Amino acid sequence: MNDINNELHFILKDKGYKKINFKISKTQHLLIKVRLNGVLGDFILDTGASTSCVDFSVIEHFNLLATSSQTTASGAGAINMATKIANNNSLSIGRWKTDNTPIIIFDLSHVNAALDQYKVKPVHGIIGADILMRSHAIIDYANKKLFLR
């Protein structure tokens, strides 16, 4: 099996993919380190989240220029939550980078409260399908690797 994993890595590397390690929490969330505007943060990798987002409490931490938004957010049991948006952000995960990235800002306290119940460290945000689709993401669950192009 190890030969297959090495082969996958080399095939994807030849196609321009960057390999990023992730961890799996006690809650079965995929946890990754992300640099948003040059600042390191803890994020959940969530294929079910349509857009990448951060909590209101980290606007200054990540140097976000938040503007009002008419869009409401929902997820993980919460609905019709007020949002803001910050455009033109740089985002890097491992050696993969992208610029001009919009980030949705809303209240993630319900997510962190759920993590806290399991003694899992709180997160700053979520990387969603917008980034995963843009980067042609491949997730290797068995080896805890994320590949982005």
**What pLDDT score does 56 carry?**
95
**pLDDT tens digits for 115-133?**
999 999 999 999 999 999 9
DSSP states along 45-93 = E-TT-SS-EEEGGGTTTTT--EEEEEEEEEETTEEEEEEEEEEEEEEEE
Cα–Cα distances in Å, from 29 out to 45, 48, 60, 79, 114?
7, 12, 26, 21, 11
Q: What is the CATH number of the domain that holds 142?
A: 2.40.70.10
Averaged pLDDT for residues 79-96: 90
pLDDT tier at 77, thresholds 50, 70, 90: low
For the full predicted model, state whether its pTM sits above 0.85: yes
Phi, psi of 114 (to 5 degrees): -65, -40
**pLDDT tens digits for 1-42?**
566 667 888 899 999 999 999 999 999 999 999 999 999 999
Total domain count for the chain? 1
